Amino acid sequence: MFENGELAAARFHEPLIIGVGEKNYFLSSDVLGFIEQTDDAVYINNGNFVLINQAKLQIFDFDGNVIKPEITKVSKEFADVYKGDYAHFTLKEISEQSDTIFRAGESTKEALKEAVDYLRHSKNIYLTGSGTSYNASLVAKYLLAKYAKIKTESIISSELQFSPDLIEPNSILVAISQSGESADVLEAVNIAKKSNCKIISIINSLTSSLARESDIVIGMNCGPEIGVAATKSFTSQLIILYKIIQELNEEIKINFEEISSSISKILEEHNLIKKIASELKEISDIYVLGRGIHYPIAIESALKIKELTYIHAEGIAGGELKHGPLALMDTNVFVIIINPEDSTYQDTLTSAREIKARGAKIIGISDKNSDAYDFWVKIPKTDELTYPISETIPIQLLSYYAALEKETDPDYPRNLAKSVTVK
């Protein structure tokens, strides 16, 4: 800011967007910073800077050449950025999932088909993301192997810089990111591009840096996700994965209506889930146990609990219980058992009984009740492929209501950011 009131700003990697109001300008890293004042935006390119004074907006590149401002009408999807009658964005976004799952990938159908083509014919395929998006890549690894016979490797985005040789040159990197601005994901994409990899990305924000860096962009299309803890973006990522699998394996026919009605049925259980959440108020350790495809969901569940309630939580592969975690089981512990009646059911029920014998409290997430559970949250019976979506919903709700019990701020958890755009 200069004495004469002129304001200068520059974009050097991290996003910079200008909101053009009736009588004023806004500088922000995200449209959501000014969407309530204007939906006219100027996206500033990397290596450009702007000078703003009372009435004038000038854009230059770093060599001083004038750049003509191009105003973009922000898509109306941002119109529903308001909480409406929900207490928090997080609850609103959890509740929207019975609808958002129908929109995932719908605005980029051609891109999804193109991505399938690349996946079908590529030797090495890597998946990467951070946080919940990384957990979606773990689900993808299981499902692509089991239902499309495609082997992939999941890599935590921030880890790739320390083992760049994990990526074979001329491979495919599927980058998953809600914001498309996570510095770790952009860094991983950069490394992969240096090895001449094709970048397929699954993103919610199609005007993001990651979109610009990608060869193929599949849109989550789930509307702005304001709550810092990812909820609807996670299930949108899974739906896109299901659509990819459906294209790769014609024997697979996903019933999206059934998934949506399962989500709606579980959302109706919110009073029961709220009651269970009240039991967690004084708990300091929560474990989430799952086998097979339910193990990555156990990991994602533990992350949701940590982010929203600040309670220590850990996801455990069911078979690993006896190799260590069983030593942690005692009367101070709650264990969430993800156990729909599928191929993992009996083994996981046995684990539940082993844990119960040590005095821990058990919350069973299943289509079938058991005397092993102290609390049971019923999820509708579906097939093994689509359980990951329905079993996530009760955990999101449980984490949200437990956050209210702990009086944290579910939308803006301490120390966390919606998109970590710096390393």
Site residues for ligand BG6, 166-185, by CB under 6 A, read 177-179, 182, 185
Shortest Å distance, C-beta 55 to ligand BG6: 36
Give the interface segment with ligand BG6, choosing from 1-9, 41-49, 224-232, 362-370 (CB under 6 A): 224-232
Shortest spacing between CB 413 and ligand BG6, in angstroms: 8
Does residue 228 interact with ligand BG6 by CB under 6 A? yes
Q: What is the DSSP string of 298-339?
A: HHHHHHHHHHHH--EEEEEEGGGGGGTGGGG-STTEEEEEE-
Rounded Cα–Cα distance for residues 114 and 232 (Å) = 24
Q: Is residue 420 within the footprint of ligand BG6 (CB under 6 A)?
A: yes
Taking the least distance from each CB to ligand BG6, the nearer of 296 and 364 is: 296
Q: How far is the CB of 419 from ligand BG6 (least distance, A)?
A: 5
Considering the rule CB under 6 A, would residue 15 count as an interface residue with ligand BG6? no
Contact characters 299-338, ligand BG6, x per CB under 6 A: ----------------------------------------
**What sign for the dihedral angle of Cα 12, 17, 20, 21?**
negative
**3-class state of residue 200 by DSSP:** strand
Q: How far is the CB of 303 from ligand BG6 (least distance, A)?
A: 8
Packing angle, helices 109-121 and 232-248, rounded to 10: 60
Residue with tokens 């990197």: 173
Residue least distant from ligand BG6 (Cβ): 131
* Residue 246 binds ligand BG6, judged by CB under 6 A: no
Q: How far apart are CA 79 and CA 155, in angstroms?
A: 35
Q: Which is nearer to ligand BG6, 177 or 396 (CB)?
A: 177
Nearest approach in angstroms of CB 155 to ligand BG6 is: 14
Residue 190 is a binding residue for ligand BG6 (CB under 6 A): no
List, in sequence order, every beta strand (DSSP E) within 12-84: 17-20, 25-28, 40-43, 48-52, 57-61, 66-67, 72-73
Residue 93 or 367: the one with the smaller Cβ distance to ligand BG6 is: 93
Q: How many helices and strands, by DSSP H and E, does the chain display?
A: 13, 18
56 or 414: whose CB is closer to ligand BG6?
A: 414
- Listed residue (45, 6, 3) closest to 18, CA to CA: 45
- Number of Cα atoms under 13 Å in the Cβ half of residue 103: 16
Residue 132 engages ligand BG6 in binding (rule: CB under 6 A): yes
Q: Is 230 in the site for ligand BG6 (CB under 6 A)?
A: yes
Q: Does 131 bind ligand BG6 (CB under 6 A)?
A: yes
Stretch that binds ligand BG6, among 95-103, 271-279, 355-363, 410-418 (CB under 6 A): 410-418
8-state DSSP, 215: S
- Ranges assigned E (strand) in 367-420: 375-378
Burial 138-154 (b: 16+ CB within 10 A, else e): bbbbbbbeebbebebeb
Question: Binding to ligand BG6 by residue 130, rule CB under 6 A?
Answer: yes
Q: How far is the CB of 376 from ligand BG6 (least distance, A)?
A: 28
Write down the least CB distance from residue 1 to ligand BG6, Å: 29
The C-alpha atoms of residue 286 and residue 12 are separated, in whole angstroms, by 41
Q: How many residues bind ligand BG6 (CB under 6 A)?
A: 17
CB nearer ligand BG6, residue 339 or residue 419: 419
Query: Residue 29 carries which DSSP code?
Result: S
Cα–Cα distances in Å, from 57 out to 11, 20, 235?
Answer: 15, 9, 40
Q: Does 140 bind ligand BG6 (CB under 6 A)?
A: no
- Helix/strand/coil percentages in the chain, nearest 5: 40, 20, 40
Query: What is the closest distance, in whole angstroms, from the C-beta atom of residue 208 to ligand BG6 in the complex?
Result: 9
Angle at 375 between CA 369 and CA 378, to 5 degrees: 45
Query: Least distance in Å: CB of 38 to ligand BG6?
Result: 24
The answer to whether residue 396 forms part of the interface with ligand BG6 (CB under 6 A) is no
CB of residue 348 to ligand BG6, shortest distance in Å: 26
Q: What are the structure tokens assigned to 235, written together? A: 């299930």
Name the residue nearer to ligand BG6 (CB basis): 309 or 419.
Answer: 419
Among 119, 229, 316, 397, binds ligand BG6 (CB under 6 A): 229
The reply on whether position 416 binds ligand BG6 by CB under 6 A is yes
* 131-148 vs 232-248: helix crossing angle, rounded to 10: 20
Q: Which residues bind ligand BG6 (CB under 6 A)?
A: 130-133, 177-179, 182, 185, 228-230, 416-420
